[in-house]
């Protein structure tokens, strides 16, 4: 309906996978490349986990498309197959002459003979199992036994398990630990961020022929992310209805109203968020600690308090004592009503009067000033700089200061060395990258979101199992969020890097490490 209205050649947001519209953002291209490599190298069992609607099926189709003709694919989409039937199903997919009268031993023998023949022809056989989280454990164990079919040097059957996070829960069971130990590589599909949603939606529109000005803005993408959770299926459903709403109004401008209509029509609820009362609590705590002064002397303390408030979802706080006690309580997050969603505007700070514990005088505080201080402090902390204490204003001669001296903050709340260490680590990582050979590769071993600089520094300083001197850290600014990406060492070739991946500690392997070219790293992380 809306295709002609927007000048499109075909629908851009069908929920069925269309490989011609594959979006390689959100690490999807990197994961696809890693899957291609592991299959062609004969890595045995590989696992890919992602939430419902995160794009697993699309990635599966892309893998099928990009594998060479020498690879034969067995595709199992029905997870409810019993352990007694799974071997027969696989044999049937390979068009082997089996019947229900054959014994399990006979079927295994036929499978092995066929796989050996394919190997002698320099061909590979790969088994794709979708919705593996719903497969009976006994069936998974039968599939695991097929991985024992091998020559002296190569696995005869490659197995890729696609599943929801519940698959990891199943694999954690003691009864299935043998399968878990056979998994050589594990990958995870993350939801798209608001920036990636912005890129994804505009990419799809251009791919289907849209030639007008950019339809989706970052603010709209942020709202879509809030209601979709960054899941591709939900994004596609919402985008389709957003375009339909715009078409019904005969407009080419997409608005927040269209997004809310699409979300409500599908029953998508917004992600939980901290109430504005949390920031009021922050203002009260700042006043309590600093007296009537609004000067923040150390940014790390603010970072700690702000992060705690983000976790707490503080509701109504009527006193400084209540605010402090609230930080120790469980989160109290609630969903906004439809009326709140549709009329939501940025929180407007107001002036409030608080009681100064030392002077018994009421002091009028402009919360807007407090929020600006908070923003500046957090911004400064993210940059790794120390926030300098502002100079005191000159007092007129013959007058005395009205307020009490600012109390000293406890030093144990001010781990300045962590922030400084992190800044130094990022700078030295850039120095290494600038000198590295662009033909070499490195291993991305970790990517952290929603992590403070201090938390990131402590992970590397206190918990890191790898050589810290050859561990490199980069920070990427994505809208208002900082993403930390950690790389390990430098390797002259892909095989060398792959061998190192196999030797990584379990705590690192569970992150799904993969190879990254130095050339692309230089383009991404060097100014």
Q: Read off the pLDDT band of 479 (50, 70, 90).
A: low
User: Start-end ranges of CATH 1.10.8.60 in the chain?
Assistant: 195-266
Q: Is the pLDDT of residue 363 over 70?
A: no
- Specify the pLDDT at position 448: 83
Q: Is the pLDDT of residue 319 over 90?
A: no
- Specify the pLDDT at position 224: 96
* Class of domain 27-189 as given by CATH: alpha beta
Residue reference for tokens 């498309």: 65
In the chain, helix, strand, coil percent, each to 5? 50, 15, 35
46-64 residues labelled b (16+ CB within 10 A) or e (exposed): bbbbbbebbbbbbbbbbbe
Residue 37 burial by CB count (10 A; 0-12/13-18/19+): exposed, middle or buried?
middle
Q: Read off the pLDDT band of 491 (50, 70, 90).
A: very high
User: Start-end ranges of CATH 3.40.50.300 in the chain?
Assistant: 27-189
Quick check: helix, strand or coil at residue 156?
coil
Quick one: which of 307, 252, 310 has its CA closest to 453?
307
pLDDT in tens, 368-387: 443 444 444 444 444 444 44
- Specify the pLDDT at position 13: 94
Distances (CA, A) of 331 to 276, 311, 314, 324, 344: 14, 7, 7, 14, 22
**Which residues pair with residue 125 across a beta bridge?**
72
User: Start-end ranges of CATH 3.30.70.1070 in the chain?
Assistant: 417-525
Stretch 179-200: mean pLDDT: 93
* Class of domain 195-266 as given by CATH: mainly alpha
Q: What is the mean pLDDT of the chain?
A: 77
What is the percent of the chain where pLDDT is above 90?
A: 41
Strand pairing class (441-448; 481-491): antiparallel
Distances (CA, A) of 346 to 276, 377, 501: 9, 20, 46
Superfamily, domain 417-525: Sporulation related repeat (3.30.70.1070)
| Structure token digits, residue 249 | 């109004």
pLDDT in tens, 193-246: 999 999 999 999 999 999 888 899 999 999 999 999 999 999 999 999 999 999
If one counts every other C-beta atom within 10 angstroms of the C-beta of residue 72, the result is 16
- Pick from 28-32, 291-295, 348-352, 404-408 the range whose average pLDDT is largest: 28-32
**Which residues pair with residue 476 across a beta bridge?**
483
- Specify the pLDDT at position 410: 37
Q: Is the pLDDT of residue 276 over 70?
A: no
- Specify the pLDDT at position 272: 59
Q: Is the pLDDT of residue 2 over 70?
A: yes
Q: Which helix (H) or strand (E) holds 75?
A: strand 71-76
Distances (CA, A) of 101 to 64, 163, 304: 33, 32, 68
* More confident: 79 or 245: 245
pLDDT in tens, 500-523: 888 898 888 887 788 888 888 888
What CA–CA distance (Å, rounded) separates 158 from 149?
A: 10
pLDDT in tens, 115-139: 999 989 989 999 999 999 999 999 9
Q: Is the pLDDT of residue 162 over 90?
A: yes
377, 382, 385, 390: CA torsion to nearest 10: -10
Stretch 333-346: mean pLDDT: 41
Q: Read off the pLDDT band of 526 (50, 70, 90).
A: confident
CB 214 within 8 A of CB 206: no
Quick one: which of 281, 289, 290, 283 has its CA closest to 309?
281
């Amino acid at each position: 309906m809306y295709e002609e209205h927007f000048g499109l050649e075909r629908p851009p947001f069908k929920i069925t996978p269309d490989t011609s519209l594959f979006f390689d953002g959100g690490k999807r291209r990197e994961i696809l490349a890693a899957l291609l490599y592991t299959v062609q190298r004969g890595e045995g069992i590989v696992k890919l986990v992602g939430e419902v609607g995160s794009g697993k099926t699309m990635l599966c189709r892309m893998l099928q498309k990009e594998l060479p003709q020498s690879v034969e694919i067995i595709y199992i989409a029905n997870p409810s197959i019993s352990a007694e039937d799974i071997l027969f199903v696989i044999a049937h997919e390979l068009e082997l002459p089996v019947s229900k009268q054959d014994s399990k031993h006979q079927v295994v023998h036929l499978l092995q003979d066929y796989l050996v023949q394919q190997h002698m022809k320099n061909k590979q056989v790969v088994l794709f199992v979708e919705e593996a989280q719903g497969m009976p454990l006994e069936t998974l164990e039968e599939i695991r036994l097929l991985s024992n079919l091998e020559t002296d040097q190569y696995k005869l059957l490659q197995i890729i398990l696609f599943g929801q996070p519940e698959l990891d829960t199943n694999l954690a069971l003691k009864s299935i630990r043998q399968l878990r130990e056979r998994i050589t590589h594990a990958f995870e599909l993350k939801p798209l961020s608001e920036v990636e949603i912005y890129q994804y939606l505009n990419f799809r529109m251009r791919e289907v022929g849209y030639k007008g000005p950019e339809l989706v803005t970052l603010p709209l993408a942020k709202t879509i992310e809030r209601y979709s959770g960054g899941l591709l299926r939900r994004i596609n459903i919402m985008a389709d209805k957003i375009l339909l709403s715009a078409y019904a109004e005969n407009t080419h401008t997409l608005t927040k109203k269209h997004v809310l209509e699409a979300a409500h029509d599908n029953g998508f609820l917004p992600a939980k968020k901290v109430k504005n009362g949390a920031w009021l609590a922050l203002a009260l705590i700042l006043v309590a600690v600093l007296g009537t002064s609004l000067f923040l002397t150390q940014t790390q303390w603010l970072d700690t308090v702000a992060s705690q408030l983000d976790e707490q979802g503080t509701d109504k706080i009527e006193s400084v004592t209540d605010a402090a006690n609230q930080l120790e309580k469980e989160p109290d997050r609630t969903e906004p009503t439809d009326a709140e969603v549709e009329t939501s505007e940025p929180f407007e700070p107001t002036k409030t009067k608080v009681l100064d514990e030392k002077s018994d005088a009421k002091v009028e505080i402009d919360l807007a000033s407090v929020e600006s201080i908070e923003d500046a402090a957090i911004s400064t902390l993210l940059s790794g700089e120390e926030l300098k204490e502002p100079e005191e204003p000159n007092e007129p001669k013959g007058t005395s200061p009205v307020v009490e001296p600012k109390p000293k903050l406890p030093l144990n709340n001010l781990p300045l060395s962590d922030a400084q260490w992190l800044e130094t680590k990022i700078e030295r990582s850039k120095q290494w990258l600038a000198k590295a050979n662009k033909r070499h590769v490195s291993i991305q071993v970790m990517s952290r979101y929603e992590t403070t600089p201090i938390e990131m520094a402590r992970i590397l300083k206190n918990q890191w199992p790898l050589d810290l001197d050859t561990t490199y850290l980069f920070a990427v600014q994505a809208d208002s969020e900082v993403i930390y990406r950690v790389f390990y060492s430098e390797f002259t070739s892909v095989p060398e890097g792959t061998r190192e991946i196999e030797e990584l500690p379990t705590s690192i392997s569970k992150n799904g490490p993969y190879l990254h070219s130095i050339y692309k790293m230089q383009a991404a992380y060097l100014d």
